[in-house]
Every structure is written in structure tokens, then in C-alpha cells.
Amino acid sequence: MAEIEVNTMGVENPRILKLKCSVKNYDWGKLGNESTVARLYASNSGDEQIEDDRAYAEFWMGTHESGPSYALLVQGDGVVTNGDSEGEGGSDGCSLVSLKDWIGKNPSVLGDKVLRKWGANLPFLFKVLSVAKALSIQAHPDKKLAEVLHKQQPGVYKDDNHKPEMALALTEFEALCGFISLEELKSVLHNVPEIIEVVGSAYAEEILQASEQDGEKRLKEILQSLFTGLMSVSDAVVFEVISKLTSRLNLKREVRELTEKEELVLRLEKQYPGDIGVIVSFLFNYVKLNSGEALYLGANEPHAYIAGECVECMATSDNVVRAGLTPKDRDVQTLCSMLTYKQGFPKILSGVPSNPYTMKYSPPFDEFEVDRCIIPRETSIILPPSPGPSIFMVISGDGKMSIESSEEPITEGTVLFTPANAEVNIATISGLHLYRAGVNSRFFDEPAISPSNQQQHEK
């Protein structure tokens, strides 16, 4: 990474920036007013009507070019440098300027340490997801693989960054995440004969004879062979075996209650008939999050979101390697080769209180953390200054937010950017449910790394 000259002058009296944000209408999203994403986007834009028969899947807040946010700037208010007013016209005499461009001209709002590590850009991307049917079985590449994939297929892999992420449940939220334990896998092979029919008895026998004494490396090799064998079979074989699987489970339902995983498999088959992801889902942990619980995913870990609504935060990237439960392009070879093949149930975060109304969720990634604030009516709180920038997003309620030099009314769909080192005051009227995304607090406790040593540090 090239050395960056820090703009120490910055913006005089930096203000809160109100943001207009982007929506994604993927077909797995919830329809119309059933979608929290739709309601947030309509409120945030101020002039968008919700279409009842349209799927609203993701609400993006950040600087990624696939879904950029725009700052509402007022001429002469001290936030536009050099008299610039580029961008589309906004309401009430405002101009709309991309948040990325504005940060590029006012990089000191990121704080010195953030700027030196990630340059003049937000290192995190903030989203809300409304999931009606399963997303693809997928994984996100690490930094090294992302650089290779972006260079080879820039039309598919849009950037060269890694994409660790965290999903924080707004409602009950279902996901598949990571491979089940060895003992669970043995049970699956005993109870799901269709898997053995697809890959053959030799693969299955290796698993059934395996033990923890074989060592982590050997167990990963065996699991990789099984998974790759499943993912590589022909569509004709998959279709035939899934037909047998669904018929068997429907007959079983007449004599006993199906397990949660079996019920899930039948749901997935209705959404994606004839898809290998239906069978492969038996190999993954089935995770149910309650509201306020979070799940984080590192690079090269398989997962698929199934249903529900969540706040999501990640490194600024849109790189996805897909291989099942999707009509989109698949890259089976890359997915099977990149996975870590770790086994066991993922860690669930419940948050750590930072004040009576705020829970902090800090995954093991430098780029981001999330605060969940549920503040009762007619209450005021102060969030201490962070050395990095923040994006606040209001799910419901109303009130106002202020820093030293500016104040903004807030309500459902309000999204605000605050600069580094700003003490944030929040006062409610009817109460507020809001989220803050920012750089992980632990990052600021670590010793600074000089730009000349950055590349070596990341290896």
C-alpha cells in the first residue's frame, strides 16, 4: 500500500452528514411492505413509493461503487471544500455528492489511523437484509484470493478486497454456516443414504472410519473430498437423487416428526428444485438467531442465509463465490478449493453492554463493529468519541442526534455519517431503535503499523 499523506487541515467544524442510500431488489428479498428494507429505503429517499409486488432485499450504506451512498450538502455550511457543489440536486437547496468523493476531499474525517491503513475510503459496508428465501451457498475470498479473482474475472469479482462479515438479527434469523462436527457428519451419512448414492461408498467409508486422532489436516482432506464429490456430480444425477430424497422424507413425515434439518431441506427443495445445495445443506450447521444475536463469518467459510431480517456489516467488498441454491453463475471449483473445512458450531455473539441502552458487537476483524441502541422515550445518551468514522441507521422511533457543530432530527430510515473524534448526543422523543457501524474499537488499541510495513504485516 502506498504511503498516504494525511490531510491534517480537514474540515472546519465537521458536521453530521445526512445520507441517501441504495437499495437492491434481488428476487430473494421480501415483497413490498413486508420488507424492512423497503420501508427504510422509502423513508430514507423521501420520494420513493413501495411497490407491493417488488422484492426489496438489501439496503446499502457506505462507499462501495455497487451501491453508493450520497451526502446531502448545503452550500456554505462548512462541509463542502473549495466551494465544490458537484452532484445531483437534492431537496431543500441541498446538493447530492457521493460519500466516497466527499471523504476523498475531506479525508481527515476518517481519523489518522484509519486513513493510514485503508486510505481515503470507509473500510466497512453497512446493510440491512430482508430475506424471504434462501441466498446462495457461498463463501467470500480472503485478501490474496480476492486480488487473484478480481484480476482474472473483474466482471464477476468486482473488487480486490476480502469480505469478512457479521449478521445481527432484527427478527428470528435462519442461516446455514460452516460444516457440522465429525460425529454429526457420521450421523448424516447413516440417515441420508442419498449422499452415499451420489458420492459412492468409498467417500462415506472414509468419514465413518475417521476419528479425531487422525489429526485436523487429515480430517479436512476427507471432508474436502466428500464435499467436492457432492458438488461435482451431474445435474441429471442430482435431480434423480433429490426426487428420491423428498419422496422418502414425505413418507417419513407420515410416521414421525421430521427433524428441523429435514424440514429445512424440504423448504429449500421447493425454492430451488433439483439444486445440489438441497443435499449439501445436510453438511452445514443450521443456525437460528434470536433478535439481538449475531453471527460472524471469516474468509473462506461456507454459509447461506435462509430467512429473516438482519443488520449486516462487512469489509468494503462485494466478492461472492457461489456454488448452490442459486440461478446465478457458479464457481464450484474455486469454492471447493478455497474453503477452510473447519468443523463445529459457529460462535454466536450476544453483545457486550457499553451503556444501559447499547450493546456492542465486536467480531475479530479490524474493519468493523456494530452497536445496537434501544433507547426509551424522552431519554438522552452520550456516545463517547470514536477515533474512526461512524454510520448511524434508525430502524424506528424519533428524536435528534447532535455533535458539537450540528444537529439532525432522526426517524425511521434516517442514515447519518459522523466524523472521527466526535462525541455523539442522542435524545429521543418516542424512543429509538438504531444501529451504529464503525471501525472495530480493538483496532485503535493496537500499535500503529507504518505504511512501509503494511504489506508484510498482512501476509
pLDDT at 75: 63
Cβ contact 119:316 at 8 Å: no
pLDDT at residue 225, rounded to an integer: 94
pLDDT of residue 105: 95
Q: Which of 15, 39, 116, 322 is catalytic?
A: 322
C-beta of residue 199 within 8 angstroms of C-beta of residue 192: no
- Is 322 assigned a catalytic role? yes
DSSP category for residue 331? -
**What pLDDT, in 10s, does the model give residues 339-368?**
999 999 999 999 999 999 999 999 999 999
> Do 180-284+326-348 and 17-133+351-443 fall under one CATH topology?
no
pLDDT of residue 8: 34
The reported pLDDT for the residue numbered 438 is: 98
Q: What is the reported pTM?
A: 0.90
CA 412 – CA 43 distance, rounded (Å): 7
Domain 180-284+326-348 has CATH 1.10.490.10: no
Query: What fold characterizes domain 17-133+351-443?
Result: Jelly Rolls (2.60.120)
Q: Where are the domains of the chain?
A: 17-133+351-443, 180-284+326-348
Which parts of the chain sit beneath pLDDT 70? 1-13, 75-93, 447-459
Kindly provide the b/e burial profile for residues 169-190, where b requires at least 16 CB atoms within 10 angstroms of the residue's own CB. bbeebbbbbbbbebebbbebbe
C-alpha span between 64 and 315 (Å, rounded) = 10
139, 266 in Cβ contact below 8 A? Answer: no
* 179, 182, 211, 222, 337 from 215: Cα distances, Å: 17, 12, 8, 11, 20
Contact 332, 232 (CB under 8 A): yes
